[in-house]
Chains A and B, each alone.
Chain A
Amino acid sequence: MALAGFANTSSRRTSAPMRRSRVAILLLLPGLAYLGLFFLAPLVSLVITSFEAPNPESFDIGSYVYSFQWQNYVAGVAEYWPIFLRSFVFAIIATVAALIIGYPIAYFIGVFLRGRASLQAFTLILVVAPFFISFLLRTLAWKQILGDDGWLVTTLKSLSIMPADGHITGTAFSVIFGLTYNFIPFMVLPIYASLERLDLRYLEASSDLYARPTTTFLKVTLPLSMPGVVSGTLLTFIPASGDYINASDDFLGGPSTQMVGNQIQANFLKLLDYPMAAVLSVVLMVIIMGVVTFYVRRSGTEDLV
């Protein structure tokens, strides 16, 4: 999978010497033009939209004009900061949970199964198998399984483990569960890619020097798999913090679990409050870019692309 390639770029084999040529411009031009028109320009229109105010000459809902209305940001942050906070708390918990669940899986495939290529391939296919089935249907399946009429909740209630009026779906727990579940493969693949290249003789050397298994893991295995952990956590954290499927009412969430994505969608598509949707998007983007830059700098793996 290409996602594993995310972590794969640091060790480069000797490749062909690079040349200067006009061909490069021809190769770059179409792709860069596309990115300019459909990535940079939309970001600019988001920023412009975020400074718009209702059109005074029109009574239509959804009619706005640019007027450097910077107060939009004040209003947006004042109204929505708890939701931003909730989104990032949910995303951080889901990322940590995915790391705790995913690392052993990656270790099992990359180290434990080393040398048994068919078994490695088989297990990897099982890890990515959820990607082959619709994201929305997977999440809906959990909604039915964890739902109030589902087998799990009725059993827990009949055993009095859960109060009679208790729920799993619609709570923060089920949203975080859904986020963790949906993004585990994004965590496993890059960590696996790092562990796959780990030289097992380092582990032998460590144990020959009387290091205990825990010491070997913390001092040798974990540091050597850090590039994978960095890519994996980013690949989980970014989509999790912007996700709005898991937290949506019709899926695993409820009114008290709304995330930023839900608010952006509601403002843009239901309330037609484009400036507010744009404000929330710009703030989300700035925070995430900040987190990514800080995190990548701190962990010293700047060669992600």
Chain B
Amino acid sequence: MRFSLGKWLLPLYTALALILLLIPIAYTFIFSFNDYFKTNIGWQGFTFHNWTNVCDAQGLCSAFGNSLIIGVTSTLAATALGTALALALARYKFRGRGIVSLLIFIPMATPEVVLGAGLAAQFFTLNVEKGMGTVILAHTLFCLSFVVVTVKARVSSLDPALEEAGRDLYASPAQVFWRITFPLLIPGILSAALLSFALSFDDFIITYFNSGSMQTFPTFIYISASRGVPAEANVIASTVFILTLAVVVTSQVITRARAKALKN
């Protein structure tokens, strides 16, 4: 039974809420074509110039490059460390698992500003110079817990019969892991890596505390916000948006097609 009231009210409400959610995206996209002078506020005319000369905005492309390097490096590290933790938590008995779970959960419940200030205080005490290295260390930390949660859900939902079948056929534990468990985990690990890259790429607060003079894409926007963000930044954000959307839609279509193929 569905609410009779909900027949048209609920879809309408959801549509309105979704439009509200999407307004800033449309705004960012539209203003990437703005023929702006000095500040990208108010519509001044349509141009492709920002799209064809993205790197004209000083410091933008190097900041974007830094974001990519940091995103890839910290994703690789967080995915490796996090997958190992997830496997241990989902598959093994050991003393102190409550404490381990708590230690993985608390970073997600800690406000970013506290994580950022804590890491910065530590780097300051140890006299480590802030830069790309410290940002990578920081990003790996906050991505780690999200990787554990994502991969652990996948490990827990694996059908144990598949691994049992492997053992029954005299596969060694290592063979069972690498030929059965690991391939089945790949979708979970990939989505954890994607999430981790997205978190790293868009992070501002923790980055700003630990980046020193090095700029990432978000810190570039923050610093230029007071005098006006160049439209070229909108170009980069729009491109990233379209690419991410394409990846997500493609992966959805593939999963759907696979599920259908399995059914038939």
A55 within 8 A of B: no
**Contact A132–B245 (Cβ < 8 Å):** yes
Contacts of B58 in A (CB 8 A): none
Contact of A46 among B24, B84, B121, B191 (CB under 8 A): B121
Q: A2-B150, A131-B198 are in contact. Are A137 and B24 (CB under 8 A)?
A: yes
- CB-based nearest B residue for A35: B103
Contacts of A17 in B (CB 8 A): 160
**Contact A27–B85 (Cβ < 8 Å):** yes
B187 within 8 A of A: no
Q: A15-B90, A16-B158, A132-B244 are in contact. Are A112 and B6 (CB under 8 A)?
A: yes
**Contact A42–B88 (Cβ < 8 Å):** no
Query: How close is B229's CB to chain A, nearest CB, in angstroms?
Result: 6
Most B Cβ at <10 Å: residue of A30, A38, A105: A38
Q: A132-B244, A242-B112 are in contact. Are A203 and B137 (CB under 8 A)?
A: no
A18 within 8 A of B: yes
A42 vs B116: C-alpha distance in the bound complex, in angstroms? Answer: 9
**Contact B110–A285 (Cβ < 8 Å):** yes
**Contact B125–A45 (Cβ < 8 Å):** yes
Majority-rule SS of A interface residues: helix
Query: How close is B143's CB to chain A, nearest CB, in angstroms?
Result: 11
Contact of A16 among B160, B202, B226, B244 (CB under 8 A): B160
A139 vs B225: C-alpha distance in the bound complex, in angstroms? Answer: 11
A142 vs B25: C-alpha distance in the bound complex, in angstroms? Answer: 10
A185 vs B102: C-alpha distance in the bound complex, in angstroms? Answer: 25
Contact of A118 among B42, B157, B256 (CB under 8 A): B256
**Contact B226–A304 (Cβ < 8 Å):** no
B92 within 8 A of A: yes
Query: How close is A95's CB to chain B, nearest CB, in angstroms?
Result: 14
A28 within 8 A of B: yes
A43 vs B110: C-alpha distance in the bound complex, in angstroms? Answer: 11
B169 within 8 A of A: no
**Contact B192–A2 (Cβ < 8 Å):** yes
A80 vs B230: C-alpha distance in the bound complex, in angstroms? Answer: 36
Contact of B146 among A2, A39, A277 (CB under 8 A): A2
A245 vs B2: C-alpha distance in the bound complex, in angstroms? Answer: 40
Contacts of B240 in A (CB 8 A): 132-134
**Contact A292–B109 (Cβ < 8 Å):** yes
B13 within 8 A of A: yes
Chain B 203-247 against A: per-residue CB contact (8 Å), 1 yes, 0 no?
A: 011001100000001100110011001000110011011001100
Interface residues of B in 1-59 (CB under 8 A from A): 1-6, 10-11, 13-14, 17-18, 20-25, 27-28, 31, 41-42
**Contact B24–A133 (Cβ < 8 Å):** yes
**Contact B122–A135 (Cβ < 8 Å):** no
Contacts of B112 in A (CB 8 A): 239, 242
A90 within 8 A of B: no
- CB-based nearest B residue for A240: B111
Contacts of B13 in A (CB 8 A): 104-105, 108
B81 within 8 A of A: yes
A159 within 8 A of B: no
**Contact B121–A108 (Cβ < 8 Å):** no
Chain B 80-93 against A: per-residue CB contact (8 Å), 1 yes, 0 no?
A: 11101101101111
Contacts of A297 in B (CB 8 A): none
Chain A 117-149 against B: per-residue CB contact (8 Å), 1 yes, 0 no?
A: 110010101111111111111111110110101
A245 vs B111: C-alpha distance in the bound complex, in angstroms? Answer: 13
Contacts of A255 in B (CB 8 A): none
B254 within 8 A of A: no
**Contact B209–A268 (Cβ < 8 Å):** yes
- CB-based nearest A residue for B1: A207
**Contact A140–B94 (Cβ < 8 Å):** no
Most B Cβ at <10 Å: residue of A25, A26, A28, A261: A28
**Contact B110–A137 (Cβ < 8 Å):** no
Contact of A129 among B4, B21, B92 (CB under 8 A): B21
Query: How close is A152's CB to chain B, nearest CB, in angstroms?
Result: 11
- CB-based nearest A residue for B151: A2
A13 vs B153: C-alpha distance in the bound complex, in angstroms? Answer: 11
10 interchain residue pairs of minimum CB distance: A242-B111, A42-B118, A24-B92, A141-B24, A2-B150, A27-B88, A16-B160, A31-B85, A141-B27, A132-B244
Interface contacts beyond A25-B94, A149-B41: sample of 19 additional A-B pairs, CB < 8 Å, sorted by A: A16-B91, A17-B160, A35-B103, A38-B122, A40-B103, A45-B122, A45-B125, A112-B11, A117-B256, A128-B248, A133-B238, A134-B217, A134-B221, A137-B28, A138-B25, A138-B28, A140-B229, A261-B113, A305-B101
Report B's interface with A, CB cutoff 8 A.
1-6, 10-11, 13-14, 17-18, 20-25, 27-28, 31, 41-42, 80-82, 84-85, 87-88, 90-94, 100-107, 109-115, 117-122, 124-125, 137-138, 140-141, 144, 146, 148-150, 153, 155-158, 160, 163, 191-192, 195, 198, 202, 204-205, 208-209, 217-218, 221-222, 225-226, 229, 233-234, 237-238, 240-241, 244-245, 248-249, 252, 256
Q: Provide 14 A-B residue pairs closer than 8 Å at the C-beta atoms, listed in order of the A residue.
A: A16-B163, A24-B94, A38-B140, A38-B141, A42-B119, A107-B10, A130-B25, A133-B240, A135-B202, A136-B221, A238-B110, A261-B113, A289-B109, A305-B149
